[in-house]
Structure 1
């Protein structure tokens, strides 16, 4: 039995479960983020941070801020499927527009499963809120490339896209050739603080010749994870999304993007795979987007911290929020 004095992490929680918990709570109108769980892991402490709004849920999106004088801002999830980061970021910004988070749709109904088909599905939810442009989109980490695909689809519909904000989003120089199971090992298991290097190495090797369900079963057998409701579903969604991401051929679009890049290219945790260097595109302020857009179309904005701490560190997050607000105000005349 779980009580008000129990600690989330002492009960076996970890970063992935924190993301799942925050996202599922948002679906129920309980507003808190994965960052809140890390900062207040005991249940009664976390309860003091929860905002309740049972009327904010709309099909296909979550209302983070309901009112404002400027056009809405729509955020997409990270490559981890996390959209709770939007809450902590927007708390720091005195933003003058409605803000919505766009969870991943059910991938079971999408055929073919491509980033373009995901974007088309998400746009239906966007247009229920805002039938006409100008549209403003943003996202954090690799999942934010979905925002670019949404912009592509909107432009194909002859809509105006006035803002695309990338929070440290790298465009890889070459498409990845890893399998779905390897993607799950990389996206879900590699960042787990509770997983020792030897156990991760076992899973990484097993992923090279296994399916996602087989990899998850192997992880359970060796004690890497405990059976969790919806863990497998979330892992499959991550795999499907990264499959779509790998197959996406990024076009050049007639838009300007804002790249809020982390000034420290390192990560908090050393790579388990022994990578000693950062890819050139990941260390460039433009993060590789100048390969498909002109340098003048990529507005770079430095943010203190690395890819993780620019969002998790309160001071860095406040700086990011200020810079995001400044960028949004600079395009407000498009409304």
Structure 2
């Protein structure tokens, strides 16, 4: 049969029988991948999992004859289990799922196992770990809508699993088990390996076979010179043709046509670049690190440094380190070593499930700025992206003492807790936290910048809970619709640039940071540079440490990449207060802002207040905001505010 001929060709045998076993004939994971590529090229639908679960010729023939494969975008059910909570395995840098069935076979039978595949070849790939993790979280929650979750990944997949766990925490979910299998943190100096071209990736793939071939050495030299001097004397297709002619393509590329092979190399290139630029943040959960014992067979001193750096992101009381006999590849390929790894993962999952302790400390976002007790209404202040509750400290000096005033502290600004992923989640959490503190009082909501989005959603949540919302005031905030149409996340460099610009609005001593930053610098260095300059310019409080600024960066980044899931209108009155500085130069922009807001808040009106985006709340200008708030109060409580004149 056609399938038998393909088997024989891949295994380099004269013939195979109906009951022959692929792996007993010398098959292994790379040959599985090669065979799947041949089958797919010939219009036969099959997956890696199909081969592992049906390793005989007859069984595989029946499988691919009568069953259609599920879409590759979705979770792959690797193994049924008696338990309800599955373990999700994340793909590695090649975007492949070869290790899923190999490892799943050695996971305890009461643990279901699902595989999270990469985006198929030929489709648009995602260029950052954060974007890829967001896709995977959405897929995971289709299978398991609520936590606690169990996630693990090998190598690059470990970094993805880490970011998946972080994003789930940002959705107020819990993580029961997070396993990193011989995963390395990207070194800042790895930035020098960041490349705009996938040619070097193809050269690296061909290196093991072609390293001693003179023609290959010349190709490698040309690629290096092109990249160094920004030339384009060789393109990816020409290079692919040349290495194919030399017969030095790796096995997993041989059966791919040129377009497929180029797509494969470009996907690997994107993932390796994503790892280079990934900015890792600490998260307050237990992390299980399964490290290969042999660090010398294929890894350099730089890899060891990267491995050690990973541990710096995970404090000693959060990491469980397990040494696995073998090297980086053998622990997911050698059956004896994989068996030991599977047992260690299974034991760790069971131990995590029994643990009653949590590393996520209780978080109360509500700060009491003023204890007023003679008023049946309260003012709730919501800070903007990267801001904190103390941005309103000057405002309360101009408000009457009878009014209870609360401010909200965004999660993660002053700790390793993960910020809420979007305004909706933050609003729901805030309202649940504050309801018991306000005892049925009516609420006034004041939201600054991104806090305006959160404030709008809080108003909806309060109304749904039966709490009266007397007023909603939004300070200098762009409408949510300005960001909803964006398909890609704001990258870290642009986030840092915007953050620096906003913070420097507080001073007139700005210096250009980015002209001084070298191309090879990673984000850790760029954030450190920004911190030093902002401290020098007095744009940050004197006691601000680097780790504090990095947390502000993460909070700010999360807000910039946030959105509103609700499209329904808010039909009560809303006041938009725009910063007065440069209003003539920005008149057209302000009109667009108002029109954007009116799509979801049709009764919005606007007014100007003195100052810029940040100084409108400082000691000089905050009295103007306080005066505007007076006019927002119900008549029955206005006597408490009459002292403002």
TM-score w.r.t. structure 1 length?
0.78
Contact 1:71 1:136 in 2 (8 A): yes
TM-score w.r.t. structure 2 length?
0.43
Shift of 1:215: 3.4
1:57–1:330 distance in 2 versus 1, CA, 3 Å: farther
Shift of 1:324: 0.8
Contact 1:79 1:238 in 2 (8 A): yes
Shift of 1:196: 4.6
Does residue 248 (structure 1) correspond to residue 263 (structure 2)? The answer is no
Q: Which residue of 2 aligns with 1:238?
A: 268
Aligned to 1:216, the other structure's residue is in SS state helix
Contact 2:95 2:119 in 1 (8 A): no
Shift of 1:202: 4.2
Alignment of 1:1-335 (within 5 A): 3=5, 6-8=8-10, 10=12, 18-19=32-33, 21=35, 28=46, 31=49, 47=57, 52=63, 54=67, 57=70, 59-105=73-119, 108-109=123-124, 113-174=127-188, 175-178=190-193, 179=195, 180-186=198-204, 188-190=205-207, 192=208, 194-198=209-213, 201-208=217-224, 209=226, 212-225=236-249, 226=254, 228-229=256-257, 230-267=260-297, 277=301, 279-281=303-305, 287-333=308-354
Contact 1:57 1:63 in 2 (8 A): no
Contact 1:92 1:317 in 2 (8 A): yes
Give, in whole Å, the separation in 2 of the partners of 1:313 and 1:153: 33
Q: Which residue of 1 aligns with 2:21?
A: none
Shift of 1:29: 5.2
Give, in whole Å, the separation in 1 of the partners of 2:162 and 2:94: 17
Aligned to 1:288, the other structure's residue is in SS state helix
Deviations 1:192-247 (A, max 9, x none): 5x445336544543433255444323322433235723222211111122222222
Contact 1:105 1:122 in 2 (8 A): no
Aligned to 2:137, the other structure's residue is in SS state helix
**Structure 1 residue ranges without an equivalent (≥5):** 37-43
Q: Which moved more, 1:127-136 or 1:216-225?
A: 216-225
Matched pairs, number? 312
Shift of 1:49: 8.0
Deviations 1:103-128 (A, max 9, x none): 112585467x3211111112111111
Deviations 1:274-308 (A, max 9, x none): x6x564336xxx64322212122221101111112
1:297–1:5 distance in 2 versus 1, CA, 3 Å: closer
Aligned to 2:192, the other structure's residue is in SS state coil
Q: Which residue of 2 aligns with 1:40?
A: none
Contact 1:60 1:105 in 2 (8 A): no
Shift of 1:265: 1.2
Q: Which moved more, 1:162-171 or 1:209-218?
A: 209-218
1:279–1:64 distance in 2 versus 1, CA, 3 Å: closer
Aligned to 1:8, the other structure's residue is in SS state helix
Contact 1:64 1:99 in 2 (8 A): yes
Q: Which structure's relative contact order is higher, taking Cα pairs within 8 Å and 6+ residues apart?
A: 1
Contact 2:292 2:323 in 1 (8 A): yes
1:142–1:109 distance in 2 versus 1, CA, 3 Å: closer
1:136–1:215 distance in 2 versus 1, CA, 3 Å: farther
Contact 1:162 1:334 in 2 (8 A): no
**Structure 2 residue ranges without an equivalent (≥5):** 14-26, 227-233, 357-645
1:184–1:152 distance in 2 versus 1, CA, 3 Å: farther
- C-alpha root-mean-square deviation of aligned residues, in Å? 3.5
Give, in whole Å, the separation in 1 of the partners of 2:139 and 2:106: 26
1:18–1:162 distance in 2 versus 1, CA, 3 Å: same
Contact 2:88 2:152 in 1 (8 A): yes
Shift of 1:320: 0.8
Deviations 1:157-182 (A, max 9, x none): 12112211111111133233222332
Aligned to 1:83, the other structure's residue is in SS state coil
1:29–1:279 distance in 2 versus 1, CA, 3 Å: closer
